[in-house]
Amino acid sequence: MSLAATPALVRLPVWRARFVLALFLLGFALVAGRSGYLQAIRTAFLQEKGEARYARVIDVPATRGRILDRNGEALAISTPVKSVWAMPEALEADRRQRAALARVLGMPLATLEDKLAEGAGRDFVYLKRQVPPETARQVVELKLPGVFEHHEFRRYYPGGEVTAHVVGFTGVDDVGQEGMELAYQARLAGAAGSRRVIKDRHGGIVENIGAIQAALDGQDLVLSIDGKIQTLAYGALKAAVRRHRAKAGAAIVLDVLSGEILALVNVPSYNPNNRAGLAGAQLRNRALTDAFEPGSTLKPLTIALALETGKATPRTVIDTEGGKMTIASYTIRDSHAARAMSVTQILQVSSNIGAAKLALSLPSEAMWDLYRRVGLGSPPALGFPGETAGRLRHYSSWRPVEQATMAYGHGVSVSLVQLARAYTVFARDGELVPLSLLRSAGVADGVKVLSAETARAVRSMLEAAVQPAGTGPHARIAGWRVAGKTGTSHKLVDGSYAPDKYLSSFVGLAPVSAPRLVAAVFIDEPSAGEHYGGVVAAPVFAQVMRGALRLLGIPLDAPPEPLELPGETDHAREST
């Protein structure tokens, strides 16, 4: 018997097929629903994720404002430069191409490799900042994927070392680091803008979509500085520091009508366009940041207070005890020994004993109050970084010997700017003038400190101090009447006065008939044989004042004939 094999026909349950179909339909519905949700409701999300792969927002740098002198001459300007950067992970270059890149950038290949290694894992690393546009063009011509250029600005200072301490400088990121660049950073910097671009996978910009926010350029800053007077003052000061083999020096010129600082110079200086090897001492704006004992240049204030309070008149005779006086265990000496002097002579020949006796006749509170009201012990409020307040102790701690020595500038410290400002009370008939490093217009409102009669009397005495019989004849200039005071003081070193280190100074005003300018000079540690202020600092004052008066067209008030200056006589000596 044969068996015929017939395949068994298997019938699946109808529900299983329907179940599978339902699963497919459900999956399709979920995908369709998700697609509709994303495309109709979450559109912004999808666009954001998409743009993140090709769109970028980049900064648009603002142009930093210029710094100008009062006549519109540029002291700081921004020039366009490029910075070269790379995406280390996207850089496709063999050793030969990298060597070519290093050569164009002017750096060793090893340095370039180190920069790329340091940037590994990041999508941005600077290869070189602030390169000239032609260098950036040569980099682009290498056509290296992953290497790009970036537009920015570099600060240039036409005045160089002449205006360095006033203007200051910016860092590589165009942020102020010193001087007016730092003090007015917000005003000069402006605000960077931004724009949206499309980049390829190598980071190259293929399309500029448009600006998001326009850059707001910085504002120009117009200083009170007169570039010609500044150059004149710097040249005269630098020559004097060299001639007297001094450690340093500073000078300032003020317009007593407006309170504007027309010149402010320091030696040593530096070139802000090339700061390689720059030392800290070069950066110091000594006229504003360094405090020193002013010596005899403070005597006019002591005498002014004696006149103002009625304790003396210019003709009052003071017993100067033959040039030597002892208070407690401290001995005060005069360079010009005399049994007695008038108050005018005390200032003319710079008698320490005469000034000390006048001070001891006055209440200590009154002396302290006058010093404070002329600006000693307080910063000059110029808004300049690092300006010092100096040192003025409260009168309640003064001993008699300290009150006596303060009368001739020992035991109190000031900056050169503070000292020059104090002399505006003699130039403005008793008014103290607020100072400014920004150009202003018109006559500044002063603060009344002394009566006009007292100020004029002291001004007359200061004029006598620069005559041949005084300590400052080298400050005189042909054509204009000058008034001023010499100062010579021993320097404080480790808390005691160094016997062989001096600070020589001179402060004066001109023309006496209608004062317009005050100028002050100090020379730190002259070591070429001379150290008296009348020999070291006064000639600098004369050179600077003469040039400034001519440049400003100030009318003559004295015969223009050349002056017969005395030689190096005892008249140039002053008590220290």
Position 556 scores a pLDDT of 96
What is 31-94 written as a DSSP string? Answer: HHHHHHIIIIISHHHHHHHHHTTTEEEEEEPPPPPPEE-TTS-EEEEEEEEEEEEE-TTT----
Residue 292 DSSP code:
B
Q: Where are the domains of the chain?
A: 58-92+123-222, 227-269+284-572
| pLDDT value for 152 | 76
Cα dihedral across residues 155, 159, 161, 164: positive or negative:
negative
Residue 401's closest CA among 357, 445, 439, 464?
357
Phi, psi of 44 (to 5 degrees): -60, -35
pLDDT of residue 544: 98
What amino acid occupies position 374? V
Q: What is the pLDDT along the chain (576 residues), one digit of tens a residue?
A: 454 555 555 666 777 777 777 788 887 878 777 777 667 676 666 666 555 555 556 566 788 999 999 999 999 998 887 778 777 777 777 788 888 888 888 888 888 777 777 766 666 777 777 778 788 788 777 877 777 777 778 899 999 999 999 999 998 888 999 999 999 999 999 887 766 655 555 455 554 555 567 778 899 999 999 999 999 999 999 999 999 999 999 999 999 999 999 999 999 999 999 887 777 788 899 999 999 999 999 999 999 999 999 999 999 999 999 989 999 888 999 888 889 999 999 999 999 999 999 999 999 999 999 999 999 999 998 989 889 999 999 999 999 999 999 999 999 999 999 999 999 999 999 999 999 999 998 899 999 999 999 999 999 999 999 999 999 999 999 999 999 999 999 988 887 888 889 999 999 999 999 999 999 999 999 999 899 999 999 999 999 999 999 999 999 999 888 777 665 545 567 766
Out of 3.40.50.300, 3.40.50.10490, 3.90.870.10, 3.40.710.10, select the CATH number for domain 227-269+284-572: 3.40.710.10
Give the SS3 label for residue 520.
Answer: strand
Tokens 């006009």 map to which residue? 452
181 Cβ contact partners less than 8 Å away, ≥ 6 residues apart: 67, 76, 155, 167, 168, 169, 170, 188
pLDDT value of residue 139: 78
Q: What confidence score (pLDDT) does residue 313 get?
A: 96
Residue 76, class by beta-carbon neighbours within 10 Å (0-12 exposed, 13-18 middle, 19+ buried)? buried
**pTM score:** 0.82
**pLDDT for the residue numbered 303:** 97
> Does domain 58-92+123-222 fall into CATH 3.90.1310.10?
yes
> How many CB atoms are located within 10 Å of the residue 556 CB?
14
Query: In what helix (H) or strand (E) does residue 290 lie, and over which residues does it extend?
Result: none
Which SS3 state, helix, strand or coil, does residue 176 take? strand
Q: How high is the pLDDT of residue 1?
A: 46
Tokens found for residue 303: 């005498």
Q: What is the pLDDT of residue 210?
A: 54
Instruction: Identify the pLDDT of residue 418.
Output: 98
Angstrom distance (rounded) from CA 214 to CA 13: 72
Whole-angstrom distance, CA of residue 528 vs CA of residue 525:
9
Looking up tokens 């020096």 gives 249
Active site (catalytic) residues = 296
Asked if domains 58-92+123-222 and 227-269+284-572 share a fold, the reply is no
